[in-house]
Amino acid sequence: MTNADTLLQSVERLFALLDERQVKYVLVNGLALLTYVEGRNTQDIDLIMALPALERLPEIHIADREPNFEHGEFEGLQIDILLTRNPLFAEIPRKYTTRQRFLEREIPTTTIEGLLLLKLYALPSLYRHGNFAKVGLYENDIATLMHYYQPAIAPLWETLAQHLSESDLAELREIVAEIEERLRRFQKSTKEGIG
C-alpha cells in the first residue's frame, strides 16, 4: 500500500469515529478544497470543532496547543483542529456549511464562501510571520475558488470586518484586487489564445 492509501484509510476511520461518537465537526481547508477543485495536494486534515467534542476523542493525540488551534495526530494522519472558541471559526458551522460526498460518505464541509473566509482571515497572520510558502498556497486557493465559482466577495468583507482590524482588512482588499486583476489577465489571455 502506498502512503496515500494509508492516509486515506486513516481519514476514513477518523470520519467513522466522528460519526460513531456523534461529534459535530466541519471539514475545512485542504481536503475541503478538494471537494470543489482538483489538483490541491494536502498531507493533513483540518476540522472545525468545539473543545468538548475534541475531548471525546482520546484517539487524537494532541501534540501542540494554541488558543484557537490544536494540532494532533490520528494513525499517522496530521490533524489541525480549529476551535470554535474563535468567533469566526464558530460562525462557519452555523452559516457556511454544506454536505459533500467524500470517501463514500456525506461529510459536513465548509462552503466556497467559508473556505474563502478562512483563507482570507489567515493571510494577515501568515504575512506577519513571514510564512511565504503558505501565503502563496492560500492566495492560489483563493484565486482558484474565485476563478471557478465567482462568489460574491462583498458579503465576506462584512463578515471579516467583525473579526479583523481595519489595517488587516485594507491589506486583504489589496490582495483580492491583485488576484482579481490576475484573473482578468488570465481570462483575456485565454480568449486571445482561442481567437
Q: Are 21 and 56 in contact (CB under 8 A)?
A: yes
- Identify which has the larger pLDDT, 195 or 12: 12
- What average pLDDT does this structure show over 26-49? 84
- Amino acid letter, 152: A
- How many residues are listed for the chain in this entry? 195
DSSP sequence for 2-31 = -HHHHHHHHHHHHHHHHHHTT---EEEHHH
Whole-structure pTM value: 0.90
Percentage, residues of the chain above pLDDT 90 = 77
- What average pLDDT does this structure show over 61-82? 94
Alpha-carbon span 183 to 94, nearest angstrom: 31
Mean per-residue pLDDT over the chain, rounded: 91
Only one residue has cell 466522528, namely 18
pLDDT band at 103 (very low <50, low <70, confident <90, very high): confident
- For the cut 80, the answer to whether the pLDDT of residue 49 exceeds it is yes
pLDDT of residue 31: 82
pLDDT band at 4 (very low <50, low <70, confident <90, very high): low
Question: What residue spans of 27-79 are helical by DSSP H?
Answer: 29-34, 51-55
User: What structural domains does the chain harbor?
Assistant: 3-110 (3.30.460.40), 114-194 (no CATH)
pLDDT of residue 80: 95
Residue 3, number of CB atoms within 10 A of its CB: 9
List, for residues 83-94, the tens digit of each pLDDT value. 999 999 999 999
Of 108, 8, 17, give the one whose Cα is nearest residue 58: 17
Q: 82: burial class by Cβ within 10 Å (0-12, 13-18, 19+)?
A: buried
- For the cut 50, the answer to whether the pLDDT of residue 1 exceeds it is no
- What average pLDDT does this structure show over 67-82? 94
- Identify which has the larger pLDDT, 122 or 189: 122
